[in-house]
């Protein structure tokens, strides 16, 4: 999986988990909150309704209830509206506060201040007359208390508190005895006594005497007790923060912390291979060229690790090559140097007499050292890609002929027949001098390793898209085991003999580099004792790219 895709997926996982957890916590707390606020609202409505109902029962009238409603509305930050069953408004807190009416929500709650008589029918079944008397008595006491309380309320006084008696009728602890209101209460009772009596007595003929008595009580109470009201409430001025509350904020905080931890873990996981790469680069920079990193995965980081290892290998290889090269150079120069030094010391000590031959030999040794150094410089430049090439279009067939002519004298001197078969033109594009150096090296080697009486043939011919030059000799050849090494620097089949002939052991290495720089190939086939064939192939170009030859060899 690619590094980019991995980063994307891991980040996505963190984001999805964080979002999911936030949503889950929010919904859960929201549901709890709504549930709780619904319960509270129900309890709240019941509390307000109870307070209002208690007022009606204690005062026997709704007169003066507005003060209580104003208080309740202020305490609850809510609009409270009381409407009778005919739709007339008894009291509205927003009207009282002289503010714009807020909308009411939900269904109204019925507030009925009229008490219902609770009688056990079995009791009634036993003694009917006693039951009648009991109902009349309760009715009389309730009417007196109710009229008395209403009278006190009208006069601006507080009526005594009431509590339900054994039959559920709210009554004060004591009967009203003195004062104007007590008189009013007794008068009202006396006035209604006959009516009450009739209503109760009518129940004697009823099928269900008990139920009839309860009904009669209710009917009589309706004539003096305060009417039922409907309670409407406006919305509470809750804000969102109250609704969300502390638990939700806590949940969001927890999810945030979890996301941060998750992202940190993901980042750590992703950064691990990069950290190990950084550490490895530092080690490499400190000179530990054998440093490698683990290459797991096919993603970008894996690719980076593999590139790092390739780079480290190249560096290590380059260093080894450099070390080998230095060792080779030291080795190659030491022998001619030692020869020169030995002769000079012998001359100094008078052990050897100075002679023309000796100086000629010393001259040869110094020339060899210079050639080694020149070749080394060429090779170093070529391998670093700094060898300057002056490229032109020229005929390779002509170059072959030029090389043949240049080496004729040496060939004749060595008793070797040197011939050329060149089917031109073979237009190539490259540095004529450097390619002549390559051919010269091949021809020199061929003449060098061919005994008198042998032959060296140069051939130039075309192949599809390529121009080929072959240098074929009938010399000593190269052993199959040695063939892979001929292009290696300082390699010689027979170091002693080659030194004799003035070879640096770098000629073929330089030749190969020059040919490679011309996008060509160089290869060798050889049979020991029969001869060798060196073959150079170069890309052929159009004849129109040929430029006039710069001069004769």
- Asked whether position 498 contacts ligand ADP by CB under 6 A, the answer is yes
- Asked whether position 493 contacts ligand ADP by CB under 6 A, the answer is yes
Among 93, 441, 474, 513, binds ligand ADP (CB under 6 A): 441
Half-sphere exposure of 488 (CA within 13 A, CB side): 11
Assess contact for 113 and 170: CB atoms under 8 A: no
- Asked whether position 503 contacts ligand ADP by CB under 6 A, the answer is yes
**d(C-alpha 229, C-alpha 112), whole Å:** 6
- Asked whether position 478 contacts ligand ADP by CB under 6 A, the answer is yes
Q: Residues 213, 217, 220, 222: is their CA dihedral positive or negative?
A: negative
Shorter beta-carbon distance to ligand ADP: residue 58 or 489: 489
Encoded one letter per residue, x for contact with ligand ADP by CB under 6 A and - for no contact, window 90-109 reads --------------------
Residues in region 510-549 near ligand ADP by CB under 6 A? 532
Among 113, 176, 234, 475, binds ligand ADP (CB under 6 A): 475
**d(C-alpha 132, C-alpha 212), whole Å:** 11
Among 199, 368, 446, 468, binds ligand ADP (CB under 6 A): 446
- Asked whether position 403 contacts ligand ADP by CB under 6 A, the answer is no
List the one residue out of 539, 533, 543, 541 whose CA is nearest residue 520: 539
- Smallest distance, Å, CB 535 to ligand ADP? 12
Among 65, 507, 515, 538, binds ligand ADP (CB under 6 A): 507
Among 376, 473, 474, 518, binds ligand ADP (CB under 6 A): 473
| Helix ranges restricted to H, 350-391 | 356-383
Encoded one letter per residue, x for contact with ligand ADP by CB under 6 A and - for no contact, window 203-232 reads ------------------------------
- CB-based closest residue to ligand ADP: 503
Q: How far is CA 452 from CA 100, 331, 340, in A?
A: 130, 32, 30
List the one residue out of 415, 373, 376, 371 whose CA is nearest residue 503: 371
**d(C-alpha 258, C-alpha 260), whole Å:** 5
- Asked whether position 176 contacts ligand ADP by CB under 6 A, the answer is no
Token pair of 105 as six digits: 């929500």
Helix axes 356-383, 507-517, angle to 10 degrees: 30
Which part of the chain contacts ligand ADP (CB under 6 A), choosing from 79-87, 230-238, 426-434, 492-500? 492-500
- Asked whether position 78 contacts ligand ADP by CB under 6 A, the answer is no
User: 224 Cβ partners below 8 Å, 6+ apart?
Assistant: 60, 143, 146, 147, 188, 192
Assess contact for 539 and 391: CB atoms under 8 A: no
Shorter beta-carbon distance to ligand ADP: residue 229 or 416: 416
Judged by DSSP in three states, 395 sits in: strand
**d(C-alpha 232, C-alpha 48), whole Å:** 10
- Asked whether position 454 contacts ligand ADP by CB under 6 A, the answer is no
Query: Is residue 120 within a helix (H) or strand (E), and if so which, with residue range?
Result: none
Shorter beta-carbon distance to ligand ADP: residue 135 or 506: 506
Shorter beta-carbon distance to ligand ADP: residue 141 or 492: 492
Site residues for ligand ADP per CB under 6 A: 441, 445-446, 449, 473, 475-476, 478, 486, 491-494, 498, 503-509, 532
């Amino acid at each position: 999986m690619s590094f980019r895709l991995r980063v994307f997926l891991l980040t996505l996982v963190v984001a999805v988990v964080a979002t999911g957890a936030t949503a889950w916590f929010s919904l859960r707390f929201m549901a709890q909150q709504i549930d709780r606020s619904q319960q509270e609202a129900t309890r709240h409505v019941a509390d307000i309704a109870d307070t209002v109902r208690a007022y009606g029962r204690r005062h026997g009238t709704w007169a003066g209830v507005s003060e209580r409603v104003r208080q309740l509305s202020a305490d609850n930050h809510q609009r409270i509206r009381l409407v009778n069953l005919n739709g007339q408004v008894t009291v509205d807190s927003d009207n009282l506060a002289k503010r714009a009416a807020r909308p009411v929500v939900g269904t109204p709650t019925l507030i009925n201040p009229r008490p219902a008589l609770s009688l056990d029918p079995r009791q009634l079944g036993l003694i009917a007359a006693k039951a009648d008397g009991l109902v009349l008595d309760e009715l009389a006491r309730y009417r007196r208390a109710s009229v008395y309380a209403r009278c006190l309320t009208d006069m601006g006084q507080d009526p005594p508190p009431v509590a339900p008696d054994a039959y559920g009728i709210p009554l004060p602890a004591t009967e009203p005895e003195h004062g104007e209101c007590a008189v009013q209460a007794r008068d009202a009772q006396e006035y209604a006594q006959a009516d009450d009596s009739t209503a109760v007595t009518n129940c004697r003929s009823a099928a269900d005497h008990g139920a009839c008595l309860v009904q009669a009580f209710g009917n009589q109470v309706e004539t003096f007790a305060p009417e039922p009201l409907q309670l409407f409430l406006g919305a509470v001025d809750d804000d969102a923060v109250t609704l969300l509350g502390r638990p939700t904020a806590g949940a969001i905080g927890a999810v945030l912390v979890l996301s941060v931890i998750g992202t940190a873990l993901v980042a750590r996981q992703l950064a691990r291979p990069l950290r190990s790469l950084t550490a490895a680069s530092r080690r490499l920079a400190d000179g530990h060229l054998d440093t490698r990193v683990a290459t797991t995965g096919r993603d970008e980081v894996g690719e980076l690790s593999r590139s790092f290892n390739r780079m480290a290998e190249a560096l290590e290889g380059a260093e080894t090559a450099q070390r080998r090269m230095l060792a080779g150079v030291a080795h190659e120069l030491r022998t001619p140097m030692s020869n020169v030094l030995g002769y000079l010391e012998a001359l100094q000590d008078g052990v050897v007499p100075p002679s023309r031959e000796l100086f000629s030999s010393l001259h040869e040794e110094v020339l060899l050292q210079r050639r080694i150094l020149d070749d080394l410089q060429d090779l170093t430049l070529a391998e670093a890609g700094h060898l300057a090439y002056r490229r032109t279009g020229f005929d390779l067939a002509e170059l072959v002929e030029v090389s043949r002519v240049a080496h004729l004298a040496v060939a004749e001197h060595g008793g070797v027949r040197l011939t050329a078969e060149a089917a031109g033109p073979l237009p190539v594009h490259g540095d004529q001098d450097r390619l002549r150096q390559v051919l010269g090296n091949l021809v020199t080697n061929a003449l060098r390793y061919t005994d008198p009486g042998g032959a060296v043939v140069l051939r130039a011919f075309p192949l599809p898209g390529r121009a080929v030059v072959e240098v074929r000799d009938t010399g000593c050849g190269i052993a199959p085991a040695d063939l892979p090494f001929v292009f290696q620097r300082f390699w010689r089949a027979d170091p002693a003999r080659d030194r004799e002939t003035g070879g640096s052991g770098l000629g073929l290495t330089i030749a190969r580099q020059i040919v490679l720089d011309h996008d060509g190939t160089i290869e060798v086939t050889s049979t020991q004792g029969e001869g060798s064939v060196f073959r150079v192939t170069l890309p052929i170009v159009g004849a129109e790219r040929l430029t006039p030859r710069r001069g004769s060899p």
